[in-house]
Amino acid sequence: MIDLTENIEKQPASTPTDNRENVVSVRALSKVFKDFWGRPKAKAVNDVSFEIKKGEVFGLLGPNGSGKSTTIKMLLGLLNPTKGFIEIFGHSPRHVKTKERIGYLPEESYLYKYLDSRETLDFFGNLFQLHSEERAKRAEQLLEMVGLNQVRSRTVGEFSKGMQRRIGLAQALINDPDLVILDEPTAGLDPIGCREVKDLITALANRGKTVIISSHLLSDVEDVCDRVVIYYGGKIQAMGTLKELLTERETVRLTLPTLPREKMDQVLAMIRKDVAEDRIQIDNPTQNLESYFLGVVKRARENEQQTSGATSGSTVAHYLREGGEEKDQKAKILDRLAADLAPTPIAELLEEKPATTEQKQDANLASLAEAEAPKPVAPVVSKAAERKASDEKADDKLSSLLGGDN
């Protein structure tokens, strides 16, 4: 008998390594907004405490008005806390030296509407006292990265919301920040843009950068965050790593290559000895919509269809890559990712529609068993091992994106 829970129970607690440097410390933070007469109007943040370690991707989750953006603005020194303590890199958030190490993408990217993309990045680069050649170089790379190099002479005021987010993201990275704070980074972006932003966040984290993301788009956070806090009504309702928060320790999922019918029967019979019939679920894994969409776009790009909007250049800016200046990294994130995800025709996808009801188990079993040729049975992989393999694959992918030696 295979002990399916063995690996999971032996997983170490996934708390962050304590010896890492504390980038952000927030203790007992509260913010009360007052009206014209000084009377309390709204308690936006209420006794919030957390710490963020170097290299973490930290998510602030919560519904609209739950206090995420207010917390971020206090972290940036734009709002003054009513009570509590904030320390960024060991200093006050209002300290000018602290701000030199921070990149911030505001919730709404209303930048200077009469400046073009190039001037916008030059302006923000100037605020960090970058040398003019360095500013020009970084601006070029960032425009390429966010896919706005074709529209660099258009003023920002003419941009669509998604394009404004892209230029907003570019300005947030002009100083190669150690702490990147992104407020709703994927709001207004198309699926390609969302994917690029998520890849960029992962790439930044791989370089040891700390990233804080505020979002109510749970899938975005789930894809990239190491640890999250969930806000509601200005208070932290839950906090921890995604594994801690999301793992269902009472259930296990197996992923196997297609087996012959008799082998499958044997496996099921073994499982049915210990598990009630109504608690067993069998289906085919399906490709997600994002992967399918990226495949379609890749095919369209191969056919050289033109667009007047932002393109998906998306090469990670040279200076943002690990050892960026030394490596001649020409690969494009999207192309690489899309290449890994072979596009599947719609008809095939429809055929692969999962059947999840218990009544269809046998039918599924039959179809699963009808493989063209029996393949060697792969060893049973626990959820933890599956996750590990997935992590390794992601590491390999990022390694190639970042130049090969993360």
154 binds other proteins (CB under 8 A): yes
We find the least distance from the C-beta atom of residue 60 to other proteins, in angstroms, to be 16
- Find the binder of other proteins among 66, 71, 109, 329 (CB under 8 A): 109
384 binds other proteins (CB under 8 A): no
Measured in degrees and rounded to the nearest 5, phi and psi for residue 291 equal: -65, -45
In 3D space, the residue among 192, 184, 203 whose CA is nearest the CA of residue 59 turns out to be: 184
- Find the binder of other proteins among 17, 19, 153, 308 (CB under 8 A): 153
We find the least distance from the C-beta atom of residue 386 to other proteins, in angstroms, to be 40
Q: Please state the separation of Cα 157 from the chain's center in Å.
A: 28
80 binds other proteins (CB under 8 A): yes
- Give the H/E segment covering residue 395: helix 383-402
Please, which residue, 172 or 333, has the CB nearer to other proteins?
172
- The string over 252-280, giving b where at least 16 C-beta atoms fall within 10 Å of a residue's C-beta and e elsewhere, is beeeeebbbeeebeebbeebeeeeeeeee
**Cα distances (angstroms) measured from residue 82 to each of 30, 34, 46, 48:** 6, 10, 10, 12
Span 29-48, contacts to other proteins by CB under 8 A: 33, 41-42, 44
Please, which residue, 19 or 153, has the CB nearer to other proteins?
153
Distance CA(104)–CA(29), nearest Å, equals 20
Please, which residue, 69 or 315, has the CB nearer to other proteins?
69
| Residue 220 near residue 211 (C-beta atoms within 8 A) | no
Longest dimension (CA), the chain: 78
232 binds other proteins (CB under 8 A): no
Count of residues in contact with other proteins, rule CB under 8 A: 42
106 binds other proteins (CB under 8 A): yes
386 binds other proteins (CB under 8 A): no
The one segment of 126-134, 212-220, 364-372, 379-387 that binds other proteins by CB under 8 A: 126-134
The one segment of 110-118, 255-263, 291-299, 365-373 that binds other proteins by CB under 8 A: 110-118
85 binds other proteins (CB under 8 A): no
Please, which residue, 126 or 356, has the CB nearer to other proteins?
126
Please, which residue, 153 or 308, has the CB nearer to other proteins?
153
76 binds other proteins (CB under 8 A): yes
- Find the binder of other proteins among 6, 21, 28, 112 (CB under 8 A): 112
The one segment of 97-105, 294-302, 350-358, 359-367 that binds other proteins by CB under 8 A: 97-105
Distance CA(233)–CA(389), nearest Å, equals 38
Distance CA(219)–CA(213), nearest Å, equals 12
DSSP per-residue codes, 318-362:
GGGSTTTTT------HHHHHHHHS----HHHHHHT----SGGGHH
**Amino acid at residue number 201:** I
The one segment of 16-24, 114-122, 279-287, 327-335 that binds other proteins by CB under 8 A: 114-122
We find the least distance from the C-beta atom of residue 99 to other proteins, in angstroms, to be 4
139 binds other proteins (CB under 8 A): no
- Find the binder of other proteins among 114, 273, 285, 304 (CB under 8 A): 114
| Residue 123 near residue 172 (C-beta atoms within 8 A) | no
110 binds other proteins (CB under 8 A): yes
Q: Find all residues with CB under 8 Å of 310, minimum gap 6, and list them.
A: 146, 147, 148, 150, 151, 160, 162, 163, 166, 193
188 binds other proteins (CB under 8 A): no
Residue 92, both tokens: 């006050």
Please, which residue, 10 or 114, has the CB nearer to other proteins?
114
51 binds other proteins (CB under 8 A): no
Please, which residue, 43 or 301, has the CB nearer to other proteins?
43
Residue 239, both tokens: 């906090």
In 3D space, the residue among 93, 95, 100, 54 whose CA is nearest the CA of residue 76 turns out to be: 93
Please, which residue, 108 or 386, has the CB nearer to other proteins?
108
**Cα distances (angstroms) measured from residue 350 to each of 119, 283, 353, 367, 374:** 48, 14, 5, 15, 24
Kindly list the residues in this chain that would bind other proteins in the complex (CB under 8 A): 33, 41-42, 44, 65, 69-70, 73, 76-80, 96-97, 99-100, 102, 104, 106-112, 114-116, 119, 123-124, 126-129, 153-155, 168, 171, 175
